C-alpha cells in the first residue's frame, strides 16, 4: 500500500435492513460470470455477493434456442435456481441481484428476486422509476440503483419520494472513466478535470441539504486494491463496488480460459466498443472487438432472445447480440466473445480464492 493513504479499519456497510461486515459490493457480471458460486463466496466472506441476471437463462436447461419465447421463462427459473444455490452456499450472507432496467423482463425478475429471498436489488442501465411498486410486498428488500451523475440521482429520489414515499437504500455511483462493461457518456468523461469525487461531493451535498437523509454512496469502477478502497472512502464514499478483480477468483462462475485471459491482460488490451444497448462498453481486445470496431461483415448479428426494450442489434441490424457475445466469452470462447473488463487490470498474478481476495482488501 502507498504511504500517501493510511489504512484505517473498514466500517460495516448498512444497506436498508442489512449490514455487511465489509463495505465491499461485488459487481454483477454477465453472462453468468457472477452467478451463485461467486456471489455466495463473497457473501460468506463478509461482502455483498451479487448475481447478474442479464442472460442468466441462456445456457440453462430451461431455454430452448429453437423457441425464442422460452427465454424469459428460462431467465426466471434460472434466477430462482441461482438464488437458492447462493443461499445454500451462504445461509446468512448478504445476497443481491442485479437487474438491467433496459431488459424486457426487468419487473418480473425484480419480483422474482424479492420473492425468492434476495436481500437487495441493484439496478443499472436505466433509471428504475417504478421499481418500488414491483417489490411492494417485500419491505425488507433493499433497493440500490446505479447512477452516473447528480441529475439522475436527484430525479430518482424526487420521483420515489413523491410517488412512493421512499428513497433508495443506497446509490451506486459509477466512475465512467474506469468501470468495466457499459458506461454512461457523462460529464466525468467529457469535462476536463471532472471526476467521480466531484459527483460524490455534489451528491452528498444534495442529499444532506434537500433530502436530509444519509443514503450510503457506493463508488464503482477501477477499484483494484485496499489503496483504491481507502481513496474512495477519503472522497466520501461509504463503500465500493468491485467487478473485474473478482473475475480471477476460483469461485468466479466463468470458464477458466476467461479468467486466464484476464490474468494475462494489461492496460494496453483495454478497448471501448459500441454495444447494442446504445452505450459504449469497456472490454479486452480480441478478434470479436476487432470485428465490432471494423463493423465487419463476418460479425454474427443474429438476435437470440429479443431481450432488451431498445436494442440496436434487433432494430437496425447494426451491431451484435449482447447476450450471445458475453455468454460465448464467459463459456471460454475468448476470441469470438465479448470480454468486459475495467481499466484497473494487470495487477494480479494468480487465481486466488474469494476469501483470500477479501482478506487482501480488508486486512
Ligand atoms: C465482465 C463484466 C460484466 C458486467 N456485467 C454487468 C451487468 O450485468 N450488470 C451491471 O450492472 N454491471 C455489469 N458490469 C459492471 C460491474 O457490475 C461493476 O460495476 C464494474 O465491474 C466495476 O468496475 P471494475 O470492473 O473496474 O471493478 C460488468 C462488468 C464486467 C467486468
The answer to whether 207 and 214 have CB atoms below 8 angstroms apart is yes
pLDDT at 5: 54
314, pLDDT greater than 70: no
pLDDT at 352: 97
The stretch 287-297 carries a mean pLDDT of 91
Distance of CA 288 to the CA centre of its chain: 22
188, pLDDT greater than 70: no
Instruction: Give the number of other CB atoms < 10 A from CB of residue 297.
Output: 7
* Those residues with Cβ within 8 angstroms of residue 288's Cβ, 6 or more apart along the chain or in another chain: 325, 329, 335, 336, 337, 338, 339
Q: Is the CB of 55 under 6 A from ligand 1?
A: no
pLDDT at 347: 83
6 — pLDDT class (breaks 50, 70, 90): low
Nearest CA to ligand 1 atom 12: 28
What spacing in Å lies between the alpha carbon of 7 and ligand 1's midpoint?
Answer: 26
Q: Is the CB of 196 under 6 A from ligand 1?
A: no
Q: Is the CB of 342 under 6 A from ligand 1?
A: yes
Tell me if the domain spanning 13-253+349-362 has CATH number 3.20.20.70. yes
What spacing in Å lies between the alpha carbon of 161 and ligand 1's midpoint?
Answer: 28
Instruction: Give the number of other CB atoms < 10 A from CB of residue 347.
Output: 13
pLDDT at 354: 98
Q: Is the CB of 275 under 6 A from ligand 1?
A: no
Report phi then psi at 57, rounded to 5.
-85, -10
Q: Is the CB of 179 under 6 A from ligand 1?
A: yes
What spacing in Å lies between the alpha carbon of 69 and ligand 1's midpoint?
Answer: 27
Name the H helices within 90-149.
106-115, 131-134
pLDDT at 212: 87
The stretch 284-310 carries a mean pLDDT of 89
- In this prediction the pTM is 0.96
Instruction: Give per-residue burial for 206-243: e unless 16+ CB within 10 Å, then b.
Output: ebeeeeeeebbbbbbbbbbbbebbbbbbebebbbbbbb
What spacing in Å lies between the alpha carbon of 154 and ligand 1's midpoint?
Answer: 23
What spacing in Å lies between the alpha carbon of 181 and ligand 1's midpoint?
Answer: 5
Q: Cell 419491505 identifies what position?
A: 139
What spacing in Å lies between the alpha carbon of 182 and ligand 1's midpoint?
Answer: 8
Q: Is the CB of 181 under 6 A from ligand 1?
A: yes
Q: Is the CB of 341 under 6 A from ligand 1?
A: yes
Q: Is the CB of 48 under 6 A from ligand 1?
A: no
What spacing in Å lies between the alpha carbon of 178 and ligand 1's midpoint?
Answer: 11
* Those residues with Cβ within 8 angstroms of residue 333's Cβ, 6 or more apart along the chain or in another chain: none
232, pLDDT greater than 70: yes
Q: Cell 447478474 identifies what position?
A: 52
Poorest-pLDDT segment among 80-84, 112-116, 227-231, 309-313:
309-313
What spacing in Å lies between the alpha carbon of 165 and ligand 1's midpoint?
Answer: 30
Q: Is the CB of 35 under 6 A from ligand 1?
A: no
Domain with CATH 3.20.20.70 in the chain: 13-253+349-362
Ligand 1 nearest atom to the CA of residue 28, by list position: 17
CA pair distance 4, 198, nearest whole angstrom: 20
Poorest-pLDDT segment among 148-152, 161-165, 189-193, 223-227:
189-193
184, pLDDT greater than 70: yes
What spacing in Å lies between the alpha carbon of 210 and ligand 1's midpoint?
Answer: 31
Ligand 1 nearest atom to the CA of residue 52, by list position: 8
Q: Is the CB of 101 under 6 A from ligand 1?
A: no
Residue from 277, 345, 232, 343 nearest 54 by CA: 277
What spacing in Å lies between the alpha carbon of 220 and ligand 1's midpoint?
Answer: 9
Residue scoring higher pLDDT (33 or 148): 33
Amino acid at each position: 500500500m502507498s504511504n500517501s493513504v493510511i489504512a484505517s479499519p473498514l466500517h460495516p456497510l448498512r444497506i436498508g435492513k442489512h449490514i455487511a461486515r465489509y463495505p465491499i459490493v461485488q459487481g454483477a457480471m454477465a453472462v453468468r460470470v457472477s452467478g451463485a458460486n461467486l456471489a455466495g463466496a463473497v457473501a460468506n466472506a463478509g461482502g455483498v455477493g451479487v448475481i447478474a441476471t442479464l442472460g442468466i437463462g441462456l445456457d440453462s436447461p430451461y431455454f430452448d434456442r429453437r423457441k425464442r419465447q422460452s427465454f424469459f421463462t428460462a431467465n426466471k427459473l434460472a434466477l430462482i435456481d441461482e438464488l437458492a444455490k447462493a443461499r445454500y452456499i451462504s445461509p446468512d450472507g448478504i445476497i443481491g441481484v442485479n437487474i438491467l432496467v433496459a431488459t424486457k423482463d426487468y419487473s418480473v425478475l425484480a419480483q422474482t428476486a424479492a420473492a425468492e429471498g434476495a436481500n437487495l436489488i441493484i439496478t443499472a442501465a436505466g433509471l428504475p422509476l417504478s421499481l418500488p411498486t414491483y417489490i411492494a410486498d417485500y419491505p425488507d428488500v433493499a433497493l440500490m440503483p446505479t447512477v452516473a451523475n447528480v441529475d439522475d440521482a436527484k430525479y430518482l429520489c424526487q420521483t420515489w419520494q413523491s410517488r412512493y414515499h421512499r428513497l433508495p437504500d443506497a446509490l451506486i455511483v459509477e466512475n465512467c472513466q474506469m468501470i468495466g462493461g457499459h458506461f454512461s457518456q457523462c460529464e466525468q468523461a467529457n469535462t476536463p478535470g471532472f471526476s467521480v469525487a466531484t459527483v460524490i461531493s455534489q451528491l452528498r451535498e444534495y442529499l444532506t441539504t434537500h433530502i436530509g437523509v444519509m443514503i450510503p454512496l457506493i463508488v464503482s469502477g477501477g477499484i483494484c486494491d485496499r489503496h483504491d478502497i481507502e481513496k474512495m472512502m477519503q472522497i466520501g464514499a461509504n463503500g465500493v463496488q468491485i467487478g473485474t478483480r473478482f473475475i480471477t477468483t476460483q469461485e468466479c462462475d466463468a470458464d477458466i480460459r476467461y479468467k486466464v485471459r484476464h490474468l494475462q491482460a494489461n492496460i494496453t488490451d483495454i478497448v471501448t466498443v459500441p454495444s447494442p444497448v446504445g452505450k459504449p462498453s469497456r472490454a479486452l481486445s480480441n478478434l470479436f472487438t476487432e470485428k465490432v470496431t471494423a463493423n465487419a461483415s463476418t460479425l454474427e448479428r443474429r438476435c437470440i432472445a429479443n431481450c432488451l426494450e431498445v436494442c440496436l442489434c434487433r432494430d437496425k441490424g447494426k451491431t451484435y447480440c449482447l447476450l450471445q457475445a458475453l455468454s460465448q466469452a464467459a463459456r471460454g470462447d475468448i476470441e469470438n466473445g465479448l470480454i468486459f473488463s475495467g481499466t484497473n487490470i494487470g495487477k494480479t498474478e494468480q487465481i486466488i480464492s474469494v476469501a483470500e481476495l477479501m482478506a487482501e482488501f480488508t486486512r
